[in-house]
Amino acid sequence: MRVEWNQRARSDAYYYVANARRKQAKAEFLSTAEPIVAAIRSACSRIHTAESEPRRALEIGCGPGRLMLGMRESFDEVHGVDVSDDMVALARENLAHVPSMFVHRCSGSDLAGLPPDYFDFVYSYAVFQHIPRAAVVTRYLEESARVLKPGGVLACQLRGAPTASWQNLGDDDTWFGCVYPPGELLAVCRRCGLELLQVTGIETLYTWVVGRRHGQAGTSPFDLEKAIVKAVTPTANPLGMISRRGPGAGFHCWLEGFPESLSLERLEVTAAGLPAAACYISEHLGRGGFQLNVLMPLDCPCGNALVRLACDGRRVKGEHVIQVGEYPDPTPAVVSVTDGADLLADRASTTGTLKIMLCGVTNADAVGFAIGSQPVKATRAVLYDAYIFGYEFTLTLPDDLPAGPHAVVITASGWSESVEFTNCPAGE
């Protein structure tokens, strides 16, 4: 990993970190951190560390230090580790003017040299997806738990699904990485004392995970007889329904009588006897109350479905019957059109490719593309969000397409839309 990431850093560090634009200017590269930092900071509200100074954060896979800069407003010290010598050198250069920023080279498989119980927050963005083996990702999760203070929080991304066009490229590549098994995540949390609080984007390329290290008291004992599922309600969706797929494919369980240390790895939910994925648990709401968000099993039949909850392997009182329906096929909509490699090129192609993101697509194979009278085949389609029927399509433009304005016509099951873009071949 060190050799290959050093090569990428020397070739075009900013591109391989942000995967946006080749030979990007430093100021533009650093400016792309803002929405990512905002998403990462949202997990900081989960920190329950004792009040002490300084407040410290650690980034795993810090690259040139782009996100570290954005975290300085929330922490007194921000540390970063990276396997690449060249990335570390670039981060130190970019952060030289900022006090309380510390960058370390790591082995690529652990956090050796960093003290235990030291950080309030450990985060990692678009890094673990590139690690070749699940065992190495597991080691990083274990190490994160070690260096966190009691009550400290880990927020990271994992690869929750393969990308079809990459499946034949081997399992030891340092770019395409590995799919991380959900069962292994639960096992790591139980073994390392991490309270799993959120798992979103399940079975996508960008699964977000938020976990908190047990507080000083560890897992709180509680009287199961006082625990109950008070109600089961639909999640927010336009039709207010519970469905097997689409925006309604989930429900809320409203809990009461549970300990403040309740977390996802302790819970098992079934709907119609089928395992359902608990993906988010709220902060404690008082009186042992929590909001638990659950995703529907895709193979759940329509009709009445009995919802049951178990905690630590024991059945919880309060069984509820929900009505499961089929979410109606939505109308497709264009989310974005960019160059296939330069994601900052909006409605333009600079590399002879287009990346088109659609929502409302129930059958990716039925989506067609044409420029003028010439059909254009998508080289790959990736499901990026099953709950909005979201797909990402990559097109290779015809070699003889002239520079200038064009329109790509997108069609799908009785729907069509024309989107204008500009073809800007390199050097023209």
Domain boundaries, the chain: 2-213, 224-325, 333-423
Coil, strand, or helix at residue 66?
A: helix
Residue 193 class from Cβ within 10 Å (0-12 exposed, 13-18 middle, 19+ buried)? middle
The CATH architecture one would assign to domain 333-423 is Sandwich (2.60)
In the block, tokens 């963005």 appear at: 125
In the block, tokens 């509200």 appear at: 45
State the pLDDT at residue 290.
97
Q: Do the domains 333-423 and 224-325 match in fold?
A: yes
Question: What's the CA gap between 294 and 279, in Å, rounded?
Answer: 6
What one-character DSSP code corresponds to residue 346? Answer: B
State the pLDDT at residue 77.
96
What one-character DSSP code corresponds to residue 297? Answer: P
- Dihedral class, residue 288 (left if φ above 0, else alpha if ψ from -120 to 50, else beta): left
395-421: b (≥16 Cβ within 10 Å) or e: bebeeebeeeebebbbebeeeeeebeb
For domain 2-213, give the CATH superfamily.
Vaccinia Virus protein VP39 (3.40.50.150)
DSSP assignment of 207-227 equals EEEEEEE--TT-SPP--GGG-
Bridge partner residues of 374 (DSSP):
371
Question: What's the CA gap between 337 and 164, in Å, rounded?
Answer: 21
Nearest to 84 by CA among 10, 164, 189, 195: 10
Tokens of 251: 């429900």
State the pLDDT at residue 134.
94
Residue 394: φ, ψ to 5°: -115, 125
Question: What's the CA gap between 424 and 342, in Å, rounded?
Answer: 12
What pTM was estimated for this model as a whole?
Answer: 0.90
State the pLDDT at residue 221.
67
For domain 224-325, give the CATH superfamily.
Immunoglobulins (2.60.40.10)
- Dihedral class, residue 336 (left if φ above 0, else alpha if ψ from -120 to 50, else beta): beta
State the pLDDT at residue 217.
60
Are the beta carbons of 36 and 2 closer than 8 angstroms?
Answer: no
- Chain segment 148-168, per-residue pLDDT in tens: 999 999 999 999 877 544 444
State the pLDDT at residue 163.
58
Which residues of the chain carry a pLDDT beneath 50?
A: 164-171, 427
- Chain segment 374-384, per-residue pLDDT in tens: 999 998 788 88
* CA atoms lying within 13 Å on the CB side of residue 331: 4
Tokens of 229: 């599922």
State the pLDDT at residue 403.
95
Question: What's the CA gap between 352 and 371, in Å, rounded?
Answer: 13
Question: What's the CA gap between 292 and 282, in Å, rounded?
Answer: 7
Coil, strand, or helix at residue 421?
A: strand
Residue 51 class from Cβ within 10 Å (0-12 exposed, 13-18 middle, 19+ buried)? exposed
